[in-house]
Structure 1
Amino acid sequence: MQQISKDKFTVVGNSKVEAEKISKPSLSFWKDVFMRFRQNKLAIAGLVILILLIIMAIIGPYLTKYDYRTNDLNIANQPPSAEHYFGTDDLGRDVFARVWYGAKISLFIGVAAAAIDLIIGVLWGGIAGYRGGKTDEYMMRIADVLYGIPYLLLVILLMVVLGSQKGSIASLATMILAMSITGWINMARIVRGQVLSLKNQEYILASRTLGASVTRIMGKHLIPNAMGPILVTLTLTIPSAIFTEAFLSYLGLGLTPPLASWGTMANDGIAAMTYYPWRLFFPAILICLTIFAFNVIGDGIRDALDPRLRK
């Protein structure tokens, strides 16, 4: 049979060598999450707002020559001007300095309460989900009992019990403690659900067969693989804590002077809203911006972690 020369043939499409080439570098899970998060314009806008608020909370009080606690009744209730950027309150204190000092306090309360909720919730939910059985039953029933206690009543009781410890630091610690006693329960439930769905996976069974300890399995496998829902819950816990502080301060159960937070400033400004609206406007708008920023960031992280949205 006559052999046909290869020169008479033309390769259509990619050659074998070109077909085996990797068209683009491989992406890790978190790089893929970051790329999809970056495509969410609303989440990026929330991230920019949050970064600006944090920067102003750090440098804002130093952008004016006035102190957040200095009183001067001669300049009480002055409207916003070149001298007082956000005006003054009824005691002649500079609202601009107080707003950004209050930002520091409000953000600290939100982050501190969320951090405590994260630690307790991950430990409690992780142990309950991994152990299962009666351990899970007892631990989650305890969480249900705590969750059933009226939140506001618990805060008032703590204020009464710890009321003898006067001082700004004591009131700040009391506020964080009050929000953390039951605030971790939602995190614990989410972590428990994730651990229950992951602990029977093949790689967990393999680690257990190879003699891995409970601490290693939790720290190396279960918690890292449940980090997506944990991050989403954490980003939604921080604005909830900030709003709770503002709400309690609005009711007069918040921080004691000379500490200033957005909630205490809103409480002071509501009485003067008709004649001096700037005293309420600035802390209220910053509360709204902060809650908006955290909520859209949380939504963006949730969408980026959703496997159904991957292409």
Structure 2
Amino acid sequence: MAEKEKYNSQDVPKDLLVPVKESEKDSERISGPSRTFLQDARRTFLKNKIAMLSVFVLLVIVLFSIIGPGMNEHGLDDQDLTRAKMPPRVAALENISWLGFDGTLSDEFEGNDVEQATQKAVQRYDNNEDFVDVEVLTEGDGSRNSAEVKATYHIYEAKDMQDEYFWLGTDTLGRDQWTRIWLGTRVSLAIGVIAALIDLVIGVAYGGISAFYGGRVDSVMQRIIEVLIGIPNLVIIILMILVLQPGMLSIIIALTITGWIGMARIVRGEVLKLKNQEFVLAARTLGTSNGKIILKHLVPNISGIIIITTMFTIPGAIFFEAFLSFIGIGIVPPDASLGTLINTGFENLRLYPYLLVYPAILISVIMIGFNLIADGLRDAFDPKMHK
């Protein structure tokens, strides 16, 4: 192996060695871009693909809650019992039966023999034998319920409605489910967002004042919170409905009576950690009023935890409204919300499952979306996650 040539700095021509002229200003210059904490948080959040997908999905849902009810000719009060419980039918998808948008009803029926099972199917579908297709699954041997058939009922043809299309079917009163689902989504989102914003305002103000002034003020305000937190929400809801008319206003009021307590306690804990910091003492020394210190110095420094808590509050309020409407003490029909639609679908689950499936999927997507966005914001406002 040949020996490697050794180079000496003395062999380098001196005309190639040019001294670098560096000023004191250049030596202190930072080569990388300077970003604020909020810029870092935004950058981290935008890199979170799951959170950004959730934002897109929720924006689409909000858009459809605005324009969805006007996308067909069926209004909220457009009801007709002759078209009650019609299955979903979409023009572009009606030839793909496995998608469930072909406008047919199907079920399996049992009997001692094929004839008896078929007769049960025909009776179930209004005795319209000409519009019922029967597929034999099990021939049977004459014993009890040994034969089984699958019946498909072409209800649109049976009711002479071949030119009608109900994209998500109709309910028990013949109202279009597409229109009612998006109107119900609008109501549920409005209740959740309004309740969360009220909780935000009251909770931040209450918790901030309690922690900032401390002493006897803090003691009295915390005793009030302890009294309110001991009252079950459901009891308050029932009292509100007895005093007020059941509806959107009574639900919002009931949700906000105790809903702000969680926000207030979180804000109080954060303010207690910050109120003795140097920047707060400097503001007091300069004669800044207490109100300005809270609004301009303390609240901006806890804005991250406030935003995260609010994003977790919205799906909780939506779910609570759906629960109240489901048990019959929330939004009152004919007004629509996701809770009332799920309640109607639950009552007809066995025979008409589509009445439950679509609103249940929608409320699940909304709640999961808000929680994923909240998780993304929590990571974004965590300095340890910034790279």
Cα shift readout 1:53-106 (whole Å, capped 9, x = no counterpart)? 111111111111101222110110000013111000000000000000111100
- How far did residue 145 of structure 1 move? 1.1
Corresponding residue of 1:242: 318
Q: Which residue type is aligned with residue 247 of structure 1?
A: F
- How far did residue 28 of structure 1 move? 1.9
Greater length-normalized contact order (CA 8 Å, ≥ 6 residues apart): 1
Tell me the TM-score normalised to structure 1 length.
Answer: 0.92
Q: 1:76 & 1:102 partners in 2: Cα distance?
A: 19
The answer to whether residue 273 in structure 2 is matched with residue 193 in structure 1 is no
Corresponding residue of 1:42: 50
The answer to which structure has the higher strand fraction is: 2
**Runs ≥4 residues deviating over 3 A:** 5-11, 14-24
Q: Which residue type is aligned with residue 257 of structure 2?
A: I
Do the aligned partners of 1:84 and 1:96 also contact (CA within 8 Å) in 2?
Answer: yes
Corresponding residue of 1:296: 372
Q: 2:270 & 2:299 partners in 1: Cα distance?
A: 9
Instruction: Select which of 148, 151, 158 maps to 2:240.
Output: 158
Corresponding residue of 1:307: 383
Corresponding residue of 1:278: 354
Do the aligned partners of 1:270 and 1:280 also contact (CA within 8 Å) in 2?
Answer: yes
Identical positions, percent: 48
Q: 2:367 & 2:270 partners in 1: Cα distance?
A: 26
Q: Which residue type is aligned with residue 259 of structure 1?
A: D
- How far did residue 19 of structure 1 move? 6.0
- How far did residue 25 of structure 1 move? 2.8
Q: 1:20 & 1:199 partners in 2: Cα distance?
A: 34
Do the aligned partners of 1:121 and 1:188 also contact (CA within 8 Å) in 2?
Answer: yes
- How far did residue 45 of structure 1 move? 1.2
Do the aligned partners of 1:77 and 1:89 also contact (CA within 8 Å) in 2?
Answer: yes
- How far did residue 282 of structure 1 move? 0.9
The answer to whether residue 216 in structure 2 is matched with residue 134 in structure 1 is yes
Where do residues 141-220 of structure 1 align in structure 2 (5 Å cutoff)?
141-162=223-244, 165=245, 171-220=247-296
Cα shift readout 1:141-199 (whole Å, capped 9, x = no counterpart)? 2111111101111111211122xx4xxxx621001001110000000001101111111
Q: 1:136 & 1:51 partners in 2: Cα distance?
A: 40
Residue 86 of structure 1 aligns to a residue in which SS? coil
Where do residues 33-182 of structure 1 align in structure 2 (5 Å cutoff)?
33-82=41-90, 83-162=165-244, 165=245, 171-182=247-258
Q: 1:208 & 1:21 partners in 2: Cα distance?
A: 34
Q: Which residue type is aligned with residue 52 of structure 1?
A: V
C-alpha change, 1:6 and 1:216, in structure 2 (3 Å) is farther
- How far did residue 9 of structure 1 move? 3.8
What is the Cα-based RMSD across aligned positions, in Å? 1.8
- How far did residue 134 of structure 1 move? 1.5
Do the aligned partners of 1:248 and 1:263 also contact (CA within 8 Å) in 2?
Answer: yes
Do the aligned partners of 2:199 and 2:259 also contact (CA within 8 Å) in 1?
Answer: yes
Q: 1:253 & 1:10 partners in 2: Cα distance?
A: 85
Do the aligned partners of 2:333 and 2:340 also contact (CA within 8 Å) in 1?
Answer: no
Do the aligned partners of 1:68 and 1:95 also contact (CA within 8 Å) in 2?
Answer: no
The answer to which structure has the higher helix fraction is: 1
Q: 1:6 & 1:212 partners in 2: Cα distance?
A: 64
86-95 vs 151-160, greater mean Cα deviation = 151-160
Q: 2:247 & 2:87 partners in 1: Cα distance?
A: 31
Instruction: Select which of 35, 38, 41 maps to 1:27.
Output: 35
Q: 1:137 & 1:101 partners in 2: Cα distance?
A: 45
- How far did residue 287 of structure 1 move? 0.5
Do the aligned partners of 1:147 and 1:182 also contact (CA within 8 Å) in 2?
Answer: yes
- How far did residue 140 of structure 1 move? 1.2
Q: 2:275 & 2:175 partners in 1: Cα distance?
A: 57
Cα shift readout 1:239-260 (whole Å, capped 9, x = no counterpart)? 0000000011111111123320
Do the aligned partners of 1:187 and 1:233 also contact (CA within 8 Å) in 2?
Answer: yes
The number of residues matched between the two structures is: 299
Q: 1:193 & 1:222 partners in 2: Cα distance?
A: 12
Q: 1:218 & 1:260 partners in 2: Cα distance?
A: 41
Q: 1:34 & 1:308 partners in 2: Cα distance?
A: 14
- How far did residue 299 of structure 1 move? 0.4
